[in-house]
Structure 1
């Protein structure tokens, strides 16, 4: 359970760090992970720069102050700065299917993702390494035999590359709560069904075997509950009586790539607001 006493103590200390730099608080949102293992404090503030204070010195001063606070409370504090006009650094996580990654690479080349830099691709296989390297994007192979160790390595890479948000482009591994909470509403996944129907693996087969007449795909934010995150975008197609499972998968994959790209663009344009687990376009 989230201790409000601890939250207010942290906030008071936080504000004491920001005040000398003339940073005015704009928003404050505390949340906790299950069982109270961690607290996430999201604090928005406005920069009112003194003449001698630069854009570089502000983050350094805030981070140094919070590191001192963390040591005094014997806890870990991670600091991440975002600027509305700043280009967002994107990491893509993949396994072996190329259709979504290919669409993202094409969009990056065509500069239709104008507000994003494709900084890194992480994969638990090497199948797509040639595609990534041809595109001039950094590729990191992270074996996933041990999930805890794999996630630790992946998080280290995300920190090293200063990643702002993550795209799961048919990444066929389940991320733990320990990973997900660090990037709340910053991990976008594409799932091959019209959620909340047919969550989990083999979604096309599930739909095919149930004889559904309309099959679709969903781009959603990743949460600690599998395939239950806030839905960003969906699309669908009608199943013809003569269609085989293979034809359904092929049709679905085209929609997956397009829908995922649409969700990324909405995210980059700051047009998404998550309220009570529902995404609203703003």
Structure 2
């Protein structure tokens, strides 16, 4: 059977665990002549815990529109009180990148985007500094400088939100964007803002964490990618990674190691988000 990626769809489900969920979903897809190509599920506790599921399926019947199937699934979802979403794999998500002066996470994403390793549209890159304008525009992308000061923070955020809506942005990546976003901004894009930070938190808070880490002789450098919530750096964790270091590393070498691990963890988290591999439940994620 020829596989056409235009017919590949993904279904993500979370609900209270109860008998008959898998059967109901499979029967529904079978009714619409869909072919399940991958199915993953996870239960926190079979007796009354939470149930999570991700299914990839192909639609081969020309008569069935994807939108029709998505609408029809509402009945199944209601009967199990599901939190769910269904996406076409072929729909390219629109990603906005926010960046300040540090470029390592930005360039990792742009390089992967140009290499078609992350299949998204990038309508705009927003920065509170003008420094990276030329480099971003060299990729043929739109760079927008929105300066932020204490007195203009609200207006700057409002301008950014308007631009994001104007371009129908699906999600935002903070590629070392050194501004704290207001609850209003975060609330406008729930579970749709991905951030990266070093994993010294909460051990080395504030300025110069690498100098503090050097003084303590740390042996592991890490990074955490997470969804942004109103609790600073405490949203649902998507991915973490580490690099081993030793006493020979200078503060500067620790920073380089830190930048490397941040790039890797962030790019991985972004890839999983694009591929609809993440279900957020409370302050945790289930990554399939």
TM range (shorter): 0.5 to 0.7
Q: Structure 1 residue 163 and structure 2 residue 169: aligned?
A: yes
Runs of 4 or more off by more than 6 Å in structure 1?
none
Q: Structure 1 residue 113 and structure 2 residue 118: aligned?
A: yes
Q: Structure 1 residue 122 and structure 2 residue 122: aligned?
A: no
Alpha-carbon displacement from aligned partner over 1:32-89 (angstroms, at most 9, x marks no partner): xxxxxxxxxxxxxxxxxxx9x9x8xxxxxxxxxxxxxxxxxxxxxxxxx995432110
Q: Structure 1 residue 149 and structure 2 residue 155: aligned?
A: yes
The TM-score with structure 1 as length reference comes to 0.68
Residue-pair matches, total:
205
Q: Give the conservation status (yes or no) of the 8 Å contact 2:221–2:257.
A: no
Question: 1:136 pairs with 132, 137, 140, which one?
Answer: 140
Q: In the alignment, which residue of structure 1 is the partner of 2:276? A: 270
Q: Give the conservation status (yes or no) of the 8 Å contact 1:90–1:117.
A: yes
Taking a change above 3 Å as real, the CA distance of residues 225 and 209 of structure 1, as seen in their structure-2 partners, is: farther
3-state SS in 1 of match to 2:118: coil
Q: Give the conservation status (yes or no) of the 8 Å contact 1:193–1:199.
A: no
Taking a change above 3 Å as real, the CA distance of residues 208 and 144 of structure 1, as seen in their structure-2 partners, is: same
3-state SS in 2 of match to 1:209: helix
Shift of 1:200: 5.1
Give the alignment's Cα RMSD to 1 decimal.
2.3
**Any unmatched runs of 5+ in structure 2?**
1-62, 68-84
Q: In the alignment, which residue of structure 2 is the partner of 1:193? A: 199
Shift of 1:194: 5.0
Higher helix share: 1
Q: Give the conservation status (yes or no) of the 8 Å contact 1:92–1:166.
A: yes
Q: Structure 1 residue 236 and structure 2 residue 246: aligned?
A: no
Alpha-carbon displacement from aligned partner over 1:223-281 (angstroms, at most 9, x marks no partner): 10111111111111222112111000011111111111000001111111111211111
Relative contact order, higher structure (CA 8 A, sep 6+)? 2
Partner Cα distance (1:165, 1:202) in 2: 30
3-state SS in 1 of match to 2:126: strand
Partner Cα distance (2:189, 2:206) in 1: 21
Question: 1:89 pairs with 94, 114, 117, which one?
Answer: 94
Q: Give the conservation status (yes or no) of the 8 Å contact 1:194–1:234.
A: no
Q: Give the conservation status (yes or no) of the 8 Å contact 2:200–2:209.
A: no
Q: Give the conservation status (yes or no) of the 8 Å contact 1:195–1:218.
A: no
Higher strand share: 2
Partner Cα distance (1:194, 1:229) in 2: 16
Q: In the alignment, which residue of structure 2 is the partner of 1:223? A: 229
**Any unmatched runs of 5+ in structure 1?**
1-50, 56-80
The TM-score with structure 2 as length reference comes to 0.66
Q: Give the conservation status (yes or no) of the 8 Å contact 1:218–1:234.
A: yes
